[in-house]
Amino acid sequence: MWSMPLIVTGTIGIDTIHTPTGSAEAVLGGSATYFAAAASFYTPVRMVAAVGGDFHDGYRTTLSRFPEVCIEGIDVRPDSKTFSWGGRYMENMNVRETLFTELGVLAEAPPATPQRYRDSKYVFLANTHPGVQRELLEGFPNRAIAVADTMNLWIETAKDDLVALMKQIDGLVLNDEEAALLTGRRNPITAGKAILDMGPSFAVIKKGEHGCIMVHREGIAALPAFPTDLVIDPTGAGDSFAGGMMGHVARTHAESHFGGEGVTFDMLQQGLAHGTVVASFTIESFSLDRLAELKKDAIDERYRQFSAAVQI
Ligand code: AMP
């Protein structure tokens, strides 16, 4: 399977989270981390990200609980600090505020991509500065698909880079607020179409507990979220969703279309369902705690429940 691997670039973060029911101090997070953990249930994942000297062994031990995640691409900078982020969720867990963002290594040069990762076919540019996302994308000339995530901070502060990035990627994943901010359109379908006009072939617009919509050049797909009332900490739901989606796409494309057709609408549509199911586990605990003890059987079982719940 290593011949057609999935790669993720993005942040490794040290997060401090407050929710209406509890808090977690300096726990492992980051866009690339959640993505890689979730995708690793489907396919091996290579991770490219930078950390500082404060990235201690406890965080490494957590990462090692995902044996399909290759961490050789983690660039350790002993004299710098790991990206860290603080967030607080309101009573309505769909709404969160950022308490602080300490860029640390993110303010420096992008992490170096190991030479042996350059053959990666499936590329996910998890949330980080879009200028860095562009630079990293150049490192994967053999890619079959490149998808990026972004957020309001970068739409507000680095829009030119983001617009340039959008001309080079196949898909963009973002939430409904971010899609509205980027396009000036509140309706997710109209916003999705405006995103396609900017370059990508598809846009996946996430709507938190209300599910997601994919606007694709070949059609539209929509799915609810997994119906659950067990929400301890929504952090990482978006990245895990993308991880499940891309993990499924990488596996099915590699298996059935080796060297042939591109990634199809159907693969992406099914990917939305896998992403939804994996994300529903992420939110059952703080940090990666739930994913770290998760077995693929439990994902498959919940996928069956989800299929039954959305059957029409
Ligand atoms: P999500 O809940 O899926 O949006 O992802 C939350 C994760 O994104 C947290 O673990 C943070 O460490 C990370 N994060 C927060 N802000 C940023 C940012 N501006 N750029 C990249 N990653 C971020």
- pLDDT tens per residue, range 15-69: 999 999 999 999 999 999 999 999 999 999 999 999 999 999 999 999 999 999 9
The answer, yes or no, to whether residue 2 has pLDDT greater than 80, is no
Determine whether the shortest distance from the Cβ of 29 to ligand 1 is under 6 A.
Answer: yes
**Distance from the CA of 57 to the center of ligand 1, in angstroms?**
21
Task: Work out which ligand 1 atom sits closest to the CA atom of 15.
Answer: 12
**Distance from the CA of 48 to the center of ligand 1, in angstroms?**
15
Residue of 33, 98, 127 to mutate, ligand 1, most atoms within 8 A of C-beta: 127
C-alpha span between 149 and 172 (Å, rounded): 6
Nearest to 123, CA basis, from 253, 28, 30:
253
Nearest to 35, CA basis, from 76, 7, 72:
7
Give rounded-to-5 percent helix, strand, coil for the chain.
40, 25, 35
For the chain, what are the domain ranges?
6-310
Could you tell me the pTM of the whole model?
0.96
Helix, strand, or coil (residue 301): helix
Residue nearest to atom 18 of ligand 1 (CA): 128
Written as one string, the DSSP assignment of 132-192 is: HHHHHHTT-TT-SEEEEE--HHHHHH-HHHHHHHHTT-SEEEEEHHHHHHHHS--SHHHHH
Distances (CA, A) of 227 to 99, 192, 221, 305, 309: 29, 25, 18, 10, 8
* Mean pLDDT for the stretch of residues 161-190: 97
Determine whether the shortest distance from the Cβ of 30 to ligand 1 is under 6 A.
Answer: yes
The backbone region for 155, taken as left when phi is positive above 0, alpha when psi lies in -120 to 50, beta otherwise, is alpha
**Distance from the CA of 83 to the center of ligand 1, in angstroms?**
10
Residue of 8, 11, 81 to mutate, ligand 1, most atoms within 8 A of C-beta: 11
Work out whether the CA dihedral 293, 296, 301, 302 comes out positive or negative: positive
Mean pLDDT of the chain: 95
* Mean pLDDT for the stretch of residues 150-159: 95
Q: How high is the pLDDT of residue 208? A: 85
Which fold is adopted by the domain 6-310?
UDP-N-acetylmuramoyl-L-alanine:D-glutamate ligase (3.40.1190)
Task: Work out which ligand 1 atom sits closest to the CA atom of 85.
Answer: 12
Determine whether the shortest distance from the Cβ of 13 to ligand 1 is under 6 A.
Answer: yes
Work out whether the CA dihedral 305, 307, 308, 310 comes out positive or negative: positive
Q: How high is the pLDDT of residue 209? A: 85
- Provide the pairing of β-strand 202-206 with 122-125: unpaired
Determine whether the shortest distance from the Cβ of 239 to ligand 1 is under 6 A.
Answer: yes
**Distance from the CA of 32 to the center of ligand 1, in angstroms?**
9
Q: How high is the pLDDT of residue 1? A: 44
C-alpha span between 306 and 226 (Å, rounded): 6
Rg (CA), the chain: 18
**Distance from the CA of 259 to the center of ligand 1, in angstroms?**
34
Distances (CA, A) of 22 to 17, 148, 208, 284, 285: 8, 31, 20, 13, 11
Helix, strand, or coil (residue 45): strand
